[in-house]
Structure 1
Amino acid sequence: MRTTGGRRQSVPVGVIIERREIDNPWQYYTWSPVAVIPGAPPLDSDGEWKLLRQGDGWAQYHAATLELKIFGGETEGYRKNLSEEQPFVYIVLSPGEEADEPEVMPLLATACPYEAESYTEDSEQIVEGVPMPPEIVAWIQDFVDKYHVEVLFKKRKNKPHDPRKGGFGKPPIRKGTRQ
């Protein structure tokens, strides 16, 4: 497993995508990420997916090798992910834009659930978590132990009104005076 040092680290992960046939008049099959392979080599220069396994109505492909990047400023998200019973690597799939491209293309691999959630705002993209391999769990836990800084919640307080600075809207109407 290759990583870079410091508060920004990365490791290559192979993204395994499954195509499954479905009974639907508008769509022939669904695509979903199913696994990641830590330290996977990049695909050939032609970018062709590698068929890994197939069965009756399904096939799994090594679709891409992406960099799983972690940053010192996002350790709270990694802690949240690692605290779950099953931590995930989140994969973002984007629709293929060109005619010669597959229907979906792996766009991003992240260990931060907050970053993954931000990609769900685009209805075109598929965002799913796959089980995090033990070696990646250990790598991220070590990173969090080294770089996490607890930030205390600080409630903002309203400042008291200063009458010398004026108020909102029109000045008050004073009784008995003409203007």
Structure 2
Amino acid sequence: MIHNPKMYEAMPLGVVLRKTPGVTRWVPWVWKAVAVLPGAGPAEFREMRREGEAIEYHAATLTLELHGAETEAYLHGLTAKVPSIYVVMREGEGDCPLDMLLVTASPYEAQDYTDSGEELVEKVPMPIGLMAWVRAFVEEFHEDEVFVKRRRDKKRTDMVEDGIGDARIAQTADVYRSPTGRKKARLQ
């Protein structure tokens, strides 16, 4: 396959996490991805806003990549009730509560990450400017796949009994005999 550099675009996206107090003594804090910042610069858990005990951080800046082969998935995401970016995270070790792994506009790719159960996937509403950027990419590179119905052969396969049963059994009557019927006969 020839790689067309025009069928790929990338943009840095800042991920905003909100830290709020937990409702039980076993979970002191709840972390949730709440926004993305298109074109953001590098950051590592920089505090942005504080409202009482709720704190929002610019947690990380990741690269959103769009590939020409994935336009169907992007189109599916854009036509959702709330077009979204999916933030893939994993529980962090040390001071950082979550490690940011990936941002994607593909609901199909996000679904793949939910299957393992090791990653956390959060759905964040897509800003209008980012939505326009993804839509322009889809409009430029998306091609609908033509459905081709497969036609059956005209050959009649129900007329010949070749291949029915086990070739090692000589009698055709033995071919359809149930094995449980033979056991019952021996036990009596």
Per the normalisation by structure 2, the TM-score is: 0.77
State the match for 2:112 in structure 1: 118
Alignment of 1:11-160 (within 5 A): 11-43=11-43, 48-96=44-92, 98-99=93-94, 101-154=95-148
Residue 154 of structure 1 deviates from its aligned partner by: 4.3
Specify the code of the residue in structure 2 equivalent to 1:69: E
Structure 1, unaligned runs of 5 or more:
none
Take 2:105 and 2:172, find their aligned partners in 1: how far apart are those partners? 66
Specify the code of the residue in structure 1 equivalent to 2:25: P
Seen in structure 2, the aligned counterparts of structure 1 residues 170 and 8 have a Cα distance that, compared at 3 Å, is same
Take 1:81 and 1:123, find their aligned partners in 2: how far apart are those partners? 22
Which structure has greater helix proportion?
Answer: 2
Specify the code of the residue in structure 1 equivalent to 2:9: Q
Runs of 4+ in structure 1 off by over 4 angstroms are 154-164
The superposition leaves residues 72-125 of structure 1 with CA deviations (integer Å, 9 ceiling, x where unpaired) of 0110011111112321011011111x32x4111111100000001111113232
Specify the code of the residue in structure 1 equivalent to 2:27: Q
Residue 58 of structure 1 deviates from its aligned partner by: 1.3
Specify the code of the residue in structure 1 equivalent to 2:16: I
Specify the code of the residue in structure 2 equivalent to 1:61: Y
State the match for 1:173 in structure 2: 170
Take 1:168 and 1:63, find their aligned partners in 2: how far apart are those partners? 65
Structure 2, unaligned runs of 5 or more:
174-188
Take 2:58 and 2:150, find their aligned partners in 1: how far apart are those partners? 49
For residue 135 of structure 2, give the secondary structure of its aligned residue in structure 1: helix
Specify the code of the residue in structure 1 equivalent to 2:81: E
Specify the code of the residue in structure 2 equivalent to 1:110: T
Identity of aligned residues (%): 36
Q: How many equivalent residue pairs?
A: 165
Task: Identify the range of structure 1 (48-57 vs 102-111) with the bigger mean alpha-carbon deviation.
Answer: 48-57
Take 2:17 and 2:120, find their aligned partners in 1: how far apart are those partners? 12
Seen in structure 2, the aligned counterparts of structure 1 residues 130 and 163 have a Cα distance that, compared at 3 Å, is same
Q: Give the RMSD, CA atoms, in angstroms.
A: 2.6
